[in-house]
Structure 1
């Protein structure tokens, strides 16, 4: 995945926290991601590790690419 996105191709929303299990973004963030300016995307990405930790969600590694 691009460095401009935290997506790790594990797209499932935790019903308790409303955060993506893979990246920690909310559905509204995911929906507008490509419309965001680069600076806004980087600001959101900076929040994600703390957001995931606070929610008790462990980051999931990216899925390996298939040949």
Structure 2
């Protein structure tokens, strides 16, 4: 699975999620070594995380 990174890495201090892709630092670091099912699980969470980050910013 392709990385969801959009090369805009800024981590939110409260949630720990990247404001660009929605992953945590450990998820970013382990992405290439993660099993496909782990990548899919993380990827499924990203839209919800990003929506929460956007809502918190407004």
Q: Smaller-chain TM-score range?
A: 0.7 to 0.9
Higher helix share: 2
Question: How many correspondences in the alignment?
Answer: 55
Match of 2:27 among 29, 33, 39: 29
**TM-score between the two structures when normalised by the length of structure 1:** 0.70
Q: Which has the higher contact order (CA 8 A, sep 6+)?
A: 1
User: Are 2:54 and 1:57 equivalent residues in the alignment?
Assistant: yes
Q: Structure 1: where are the runs of 5+ without partners? A: 59-67
**TM-score between the two structures when normalised by the length of structure 2:** 0.79
Moved over 3 A (4+): none
Cα root mean square deviation, aligned: 1.6
Higher CA-based Rg: 1
